[in-house]
């Protein structure tokens, strides 16, 4: 038997209903924030991703050579493609430019729970604005997006890579040391970090202070540490304005400061953030983003850029773990003709209801009543219409409520109004 490739999935109508619900809610939210949708190709020139993330990314990328000898890659993420599109086509558009996207991404990775080789992301890029109100809105939009899909309990962590870099400078941790430390910080492995700091001649009190600053949620503590550093003080002032707006204007209060957020240090800068769903335990991060610099790397004129991405699979897992009730994929009406002579009338009724936006199916296998009712139940039909000879003589049909089992005789001309106002 032919099978789907390893690490990929088929989505059945019940699963698609969930995904489309999330997509629809997110798209509505993005549009309410003034974002417009963009779509880029599923594959790009491999160079686009190696330019952004270096050659090491090739190991987990679906790279291939096409028949024309071009090195292509199925996209691993959507920020690089959207910025490539901006540089290639949209640089002259009025700023700020607010773009959102939905798209499948690809990762050649060992398949495991919640990690697939093809997975869907939603996200946005804000191009040409970095005022505190613009940054606060970006964070507010990410939070609102996940609230609107129905999540009860989410937490935002807010970091700052400018401050993070100043921290390295203060403790005299140079690039080679950073390379060792970053993965440990990223994974919050603080015991291992302490050992590694010792190897970098940063042990005892200084090491404790470094680790404490990565973990503390107290902005005052951070301000106290940086009070003689002009760059840091300025960054902290801006960040406080962003946080004030986030709290007071966007009504987001479920956040914490966390300097230990590591994102791609080569192109992220300034404010970065993550949103977690605690209900998911270890694999709880749903969303990540911040401000970054990629435009000039791709050959464009530098402008401020920031954005975030949300994973569909974890969002669904979090909603399920919270017991969220997704809209159900019910069929509004199933029509059963009692014999083949009733087919013309059956279809005529079906077509009239379909024009009103009602989902309708009818027995196309000329089965008996019992089998047809069983099929209607399996399809989650809300109502069944039975087209029988006796009722049809009076231009009527039988309307059955599948939940209660009650039946009534309804004139054909009044089926639609009866369905709308039972």
Between residue 84 and residue 113, which ones bind a second copy under the rule CB under 8 A?
A: 84-85, 87-90, 94-96, 98-99, 104, 106, 108
What HEC string does 234-276 produce?
HHHHHHHHHHHHHHHCCCCCCEEECCCCCCCCCCEEEEEEEEE
Question: 163 with 179: CB under 8 angstroms?
Answer: no
Going 235 to 241 to 244 to 248, the CA torsion angle's sign is negative
Stretch that binds a second copy, among 4-12, 182-190, 202-210, 320-328 (CB under 8 A): 4-12
* Rounded-to-integer distance, Cα 203 and Cα 175, Å: 18
Residue 65 binds a second copy, judged by CB under 8 A: yes
Number of residues that bind a second copy (CB under 8 A): 100
Select from 21, 22, 125, 137 the one that contacts a second copy (CB under 8 A).
137
Minimum CB distance to a second copy, residue 178 (Å):
28
Minimum CB distance to a second copy, residue 150 (Å):
15
H or E stretch at 158: strand 155-160
At 143, give phi and psi (nearest 5°): -65, -45
* Rounded-to-integer distance, Cα 402 and Cα 404, Å: 6
| Cβ distance to a second copy smaller for residue 39 or 212 | 39
Interactions with a second copy, residue window 28-57 (CB under 8 A) = 28-29, 31-34, 36-45, 47-48, 51
Q: Which region holds residue 128: left if phi is over 0, alpha if psi is between -120 and 50, else beta?
A: left
Pairing of strands 255-257, 155-160: parallel
Residue 281 binds a second copy, judged by CB under 8 A: no
DSSP code string of 200-245: TT--HHHHHHHHHHHH---HHHHHHHTTT-HHHHHHHHHHHHHHHH
| Cβ distance to a second copy smaller for residue 182 or 331 | 331
Residue 402 binds a second copy, judged by CB under 8 A: no
Residue 351 binds a second copy, judged by CB under 8 A: yes
Select from 26, 78, 124, 129 the one that contacts a second copy (CB under 8 A).
129
Question: 114 with 235: CB under 8 angstroms?
Answer: no
Residue 230 binds a second copy, judged by CB under 8 A: no
Residue 124 binds a second copy, judged by CB under 8 A: no
- Number of residues in the chain: 422
Residue 392 binds a second copy, judged by CB under 8 A: no
Minimum CB distance to a second copy, residue 334 (Å):
8
State the binding string over 249-268 for a second copy (x if CB under 8 A, else -): xxx-----------------
Residue 375 binds a second copy, judged by CB under 8 A: yes
Residue 17 binds a second copy, judged by CB under 8 A: yes
| Cβ distance to a second copy smaller for residue 227 or 371 | 371
Residue 12 binds a second copy, judged by CB under 8 A: yes
Minimum CB distance to a second copy, residue 37 (Å):
4
| Cβ distance to a second copy smaller for residue 132 or 159 | 132
Stretch that binds a second copy, among 183-191, 213-221, 232-240, 357-365 (CB under 8 A): 357-365
* Rounded-to-integer distance, Cα 120 and Cα 227, Å: 43
| Cβ distance to a second copy smaller for residue 86 or 210 | 86
Q: Which of 305, 234, 293 is nearest to 268 (CA)?
A: 293
Q: Which of 12, 134, 111, 102 is nearest to 315 (CA)?
A: 102
Residue 150 binds a second copy, judged by CB under 8 A: no
Question: 76 with 311: CB under 8 angstroms?
Answer: no
Measured CA distances, 255 to 157, 163, 242, 252 (Å): 6, 18, 12, 7
Residue 370 binds a second copy, judged by CB under 8 A: no
Minimum CB distance to a second copy, residue 237 (Å):
14
Residue 417 binds a second copy, judged by CB under 8 A: no
Question: 223 with 126: CB under 8 angstroms?
Answer: no
Residue 302 binds a second copy, judged by CB under 8 A: no
Cis peptide leading into residue 96 (ω within 30°): yes
Select from 366, 390, 408, 414 the one that contacts a second copy (CB under 8 A).
366
* Rounded-to-integer distance, Cα 31 and Cα 50, Å: 32
Select from 57, 331, 382, 392 the one that contacts a second copy (CB under 8 A).
331
| Cβ distance to a second copy smaller for residue 216 or 345 | 345
Measured CA distances, 259 to 2, 14, 153, 205, 345 (Å): 49, 41, 22, 19, 69
Select from 359, 382, 391, 392 the one that contacts a second copy (CB under 8 A).
359
């Amino acid at each position: 038997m032919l099978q789907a490739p390893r690490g990929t999935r088929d989505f059945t109508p019940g699963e698609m209903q969930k995904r489309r619900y999330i997509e629809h809610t997110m798209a509505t939210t993005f549009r309410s924030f003034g974002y417009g949708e963009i779509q880029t190709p599923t594959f790009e020139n491999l160079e686009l991703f190696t330019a952004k993330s270096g050659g090491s990314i090739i190991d987990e990328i679906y790279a291939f050579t096409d028949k024309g000898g071009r090195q292509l890659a199925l996209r691993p993420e959507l920020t690089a493609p959207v910025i490539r599109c901006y540089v290639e086509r949209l640089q002259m558009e009025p700023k700020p430019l607010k773009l959102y996207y939905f798209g499948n991404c690809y990762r050649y990775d060992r398949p495991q729970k919640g990690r697939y080789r093809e997975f869907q992301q939603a996200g946005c890029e804000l191009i040409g604005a970095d005022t505190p109100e613009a940054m606060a809105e970006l964070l507010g939009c990410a939070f609102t997006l996940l609230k609107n899909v129905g999540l009860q309990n989410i937490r935002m962590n807010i970091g700052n890579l400018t401050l993070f870099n100043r921290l390295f400078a203060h403790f005299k941790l140079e690039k080679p040391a950073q390379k060792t430390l970053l993965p440990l910080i990223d994974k919050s492995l603080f015991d291992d970090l302490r050992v590694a700091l010792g190897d970098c001649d940063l042990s005892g009190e200084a090491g404790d202070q470094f680790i404490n600053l990565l973990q503390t949620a107290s902005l005052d503590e951070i301000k106290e540490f940086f009070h003689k550093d002009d760059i840091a003080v300025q960054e902290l002032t801006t960040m406080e304005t962003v946080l004030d707006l986030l709290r007071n204007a966007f009504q987001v209060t479920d956040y914490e400061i966390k300097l230990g957020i590591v994102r791609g240090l080569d192109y992220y800068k300034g404010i970065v953030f993550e949103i977690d769903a605690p209900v998911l335990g270890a694999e709880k991060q749903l969303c990540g983003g911040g401000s970054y610099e990629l435009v000039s790397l791709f050959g464009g004129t530098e402008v401020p850029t920031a954005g975030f991405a949300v994973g569909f699979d974890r969002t669904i897992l979090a909603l399920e773990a919270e017991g969220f009730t997704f809209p159900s994929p019910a069929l509004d009406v199933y029509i059963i003709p009692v014999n083949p002579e009733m087919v013309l009338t059956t279809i005529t009724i079906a077509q009239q209801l379909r024009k009103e936006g009602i989902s309708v199916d009818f027995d196309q296998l000329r089965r008996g009543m019992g089998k047809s009712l069983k099929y209607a139940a399996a399809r989650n039909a809300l109502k069944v219409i039975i087209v029988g000879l006796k009722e049809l003589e009076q231009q009527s049909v039988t309307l059955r409520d599948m939940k209660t089992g009650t039946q009534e005789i309804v004139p054909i001309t009044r089926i639609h109004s009866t369905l709308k106002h039972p």
